Structure 1
């Protein structure tokens, strides 16, 4: 007769432990990147409520596929990629009735001077005028803080293409600024 001296692991205890680990990992992810993901969502959709919905869907999808995130250093770009896809799904599901409403500012408007607010709004309008292929990499760099390699991976483009688009976007903004300054000098 053979006696087993090793206690069998309780399978339900390991499941609970695994869920607790996943929960802690998820909470750390939300804590670290919620503001950046929201900021980027707001820039994409320009509506506080839609941005909140997309961010919520993004984190829900992140929870479901958290086990697929192997490199914690890639978490932010992984979340932004999920967010971009979630935003695209929004248009696949239904066509929204768009109405003109006053834009809500992401920054605290009370902390900025009126001149700074005007400059920020002018810059925001100029960025909105950029073609999508220039606007999206620029926003990923400015708002998301991603480098060329990360943007290339998220947009599934060659890094040189991304760098060219960033260069052209900046040049278009620079040209718009120079035109605006020249108009200001001739009007002043």
Structure 2
């Protein structure tokens, strides 16, 4: 096995779980999240030479993943259907790595946030990005990102307010 292959295998082993979680938070579908991770790793393999420092691998991979997710919507034309005749079962059992407990409650609340709040929060919580890194990725100012993160947490706190102890347990107070 070549040194490049060993480096890539090590990189994959170290970050695949984080990539999948971030992809799932972005798209909400297990199969699509897996596809996004595969596409991300494929692009990473092709561009492995552009990775200068091993410490920068996680943000580099998260950026690739985020761009892969955005590409889905650039290419995809969504079909529209009339919703009057569609019946939707709301049993809360949609595919998720967090199906039960506190993580599921937070996931459900986060899915209700507008994308402008959900995406930076997911980048910070799941990706470990700083405000500055999120701002650079989203093309915004760090102050605007800090405001979005603050508002996202406030909105989550409000959504979880049905059980005040739950909001405290989640660290949102």
Please report the RMSD computed on the Cα atoms of aligned residues, expressed in angstroms: 2.4
> What is the match of residue 112 of structure 2?
129
For 1:69-80, list aligned pairs within 5 A: 69-80=51-62
Q: Per-residue deviation at 1:86?
A: 0.6
Mapped to 2, the partners of 1:82 and 1:88 lie a distance apart of 10
> What is the match of residue 54 of structure 1?
36
Question: Normalization by structure 1: what TM-score?
Answer: 0.73
Mapped to 2, the partners of 1:104 and 1:20 lie a distance apart of 38
Mapped to 1, the partners of 2:8 and 2:102 lie a distance apart of 38
Q: Per-residue deviation at 1:139?
A: 0.7
| Larger CA deviation: 19-28 vs 73-82 | 19-28
Number of aligned residue pairs = 155
The answer as to whether partners of 1:77 and 1:154 remain within 8 angstroms in 2 is no
> What is the match of residue 157 of structure 2?
174
Give 2:136's match in structure 1, choosing from 131, 150, 153: 153
Query: Gaps (5+ residues) in structure 2?
Result: 81-85, 165-173
Query: Gaps (5+ residues) in structure 1?
Result: 1-18, 110-116, 183-188
Change (3 A) 1:71 1:159: farther
Q: Over alpha carbons, which structure has the higher Rg?
A: 1
> What is the match of residue 28 of structure 1?
10
